[in-house]
Structure 1
Amino acid sequence: MIPVEKTINSLDWMTIVLFVGLLILALGKYLYHSKFFNFVILPFNDKYVLLHNKKGQLLNWFHILLTLFQLVNLSLFVFIALSIFNAMPEGNPLTVFFVLMGFLALFQLLKFAVQFLKAYAFNTQELVSGLIFSKTSYFNYGSLILCVANTILIYILKDSKTVVYTAIVLILLINGIGIVKLLKNYQKAVFPYFVYFILYLCALEIAPLVIIGSYLKD
């Protein structure tokens, strides 16, 4: 009997998504090594925000790469969470994933648009730009946890609600630290607009989390 080489092409699309996310992160580390080093210690030392928070940083390529990494992993995490809680919409899984990614990207862009419109109305563009950079930096850091959680949920502890809840708690904790440091660093600038800041948190930050949490609970 003559052995015949047989090649089976069966790459899991979630593996490819994880690989693309890690590739984006590796590219950011390779191109911006010093920024990446400051970024990975962000919750313990806000040197990254203090050094790099200046006009135009939102359009910096390192920040854009981190935001793409966050979007990829957040979309995958939401997809897996919906599957675990039996809330997955009908349709092709890959199509559902891209729809989720598009929705999350559009939601974030609309948030930025609303924030900058408010900044233009109150002539606080520089302040709001700094606040958005600080907030998204901590949210992008949370995507590192999402990446780990996605890996565990796909390859190790499939359908684990504990992993989902743990990842959400850790992300909320990291972003809570970010908000505390943000208020500390911008207390003089934010204080005159404190009421508007609280309304912003309730409307665009807390409300979506409450809605999503209620949806998963039901």
Structure 2
Amino acid sequence: MNPIAKVVPSLDWMTIVLFASLVVMALGKYLYHARFLNFIILPFNDKYVLLHNKKGQLLNWFHILLTLFQVVNLSLFVFFALKAFGALSGEDPLWIFFMVLGGLVLFQLAKLGLQSFTGFVFNAQELIVGLIFSKTTYLNYSSIILFVANVILTYILKDSKTVIYGAFILIILINGIGAIKLLKNYQKAMFPYFMYFILYLCALEIAPLVLIGSYLKG
């Protein structure tokens, strides 16, 4: 009987990434306990957005910690999705993860810069900052779903397309609830900038989701 070499991919770096992101979330909960309690019930009660949607909140440390948690888990989830659908090359998985992480960070920074510039051009900085904060807050909340999905994809159901589809649907649902509440809260303020808002949704929000959905479907 000839021996068969069985290569088991190392989970060390994935465990470190998941643990580090969990530490970031725990740190936010420990340092800003009251805010965290309002944040954790966000889909059912938008008290967090209404209370904290003020000038400078994008640079608040609690918001920064949650955004970091979101970016890290989104990057790992994208990595797992690429792996499950056979889109990874033969490069080092850790290197691919860092490439995805860097790409997402650059994309979000570029989008933030474009949104801020547009708000300056239309003299609607306060409105734009409020929209960015509300949208990012719901995306940060949906990263809790991403974390759970990442744990499952790492240790339980590896390369499971069902988990990926399920997490994607839940993320769309959570952010859809956020979009409805955002429109409700800002309907009067956004009316003078209605055309800009439609262009913003199509170019920077809907288009990436359509591309991702088309890829997964294909």
Do the aligned partners of 1:142 and 1:174 also contact (CA within 8 Å) in 2?
Answer: yes
Do the aligned partners of 1:49 and 1:134 also contact (CA within 8 Å) in 2?
Answer: yes
Report the equivalent of 2:23. Answer: 23
- Superposition CA RMSD, Å: 1.0
How many positions carry a matched residue from both structures? Answer: 209
1:94-133 alignment to 2 at 5 Å?
Answer: 94-133=94-133
Do the aligned partners of 1:76 and 1:150 also contact (CA within 8 Å) in 2?
Answer: yes
Report the equivalent of 1:195. Answer: 195
**Cα distance between partner residues in 2 of 1:75 and 1:16:** 14
1:79-98 alignment to 2 at 5 Å?
Answer: 79-98=79-98
Secondary structure at the aligned position of 1:206 is classed as helix
Instruction: Give the C-alpha shift of residue 11 in structure 1.
Output: 6.2
Do the aligned partners of 1:82 and 1:216 also contact (CA within 8 Å) in 2?
Answer: no
- Residues 210 and 89 of structure 1: CA distance in aligned 2, closer, same or farther (over 3 Å): farther
Alpha-carbon displacement from aligned partner over 1:13-41 (angstroms, at most 9, x marks no partner): 10110000000000000000000000000
Report the equivalent of 2:146. Answer: 146
1:65 is aligned to 2:81: no
Instruction: Give the C-alpha shift of residue 209 in structure 1.
Output: 1.4
Higher mean alpha-carbon deviation, 58-67 vs 187-196, is at 187-196
**Cα distance between partner residues in 1 of 2:183 and 2:86:** 38
Instruction: Give the C-alpha shift of residue 211 in structure 1.
Output: 1.4
Alpha-carbon displacement from aligned partner over 1:124-162 (angstroms, at most 9, x marks no partner): 001100110000000000000000000111111111111
Report the equivalent of 1:43. Answer: 43
**Cα distance between partner residues in 2 of 1:65 and 1:126:** 22
Instruction: State the AA in 1 paired with 2:170.
Output: L
How high is the TM-score relative to the length of structure 1? 0.94
Instruction: Give the C-alpha shift of residue 88 in structure 1.
Output: 1.2
How high is the TM-score relative to the length of structure 2? 0.94
Instruction: State the AA in 1 paired with 2:57.
Output: Q
**Cα distance between partner residues in 1 of 2:106 and 2:146:** 20
Uncovered stretches (5+) of structure 2, i.e. residues with no partner:
1-9
**Cα distance between partner residues in 2 of 1:41 and 1:109:** 27
Report the equivalent of 1:166. Answer: 166
**Cα distance between partner residues in 1 of 2:195 and 2:168:** 27
Secondary structure at the aligned position of 1:186 is classed as helix
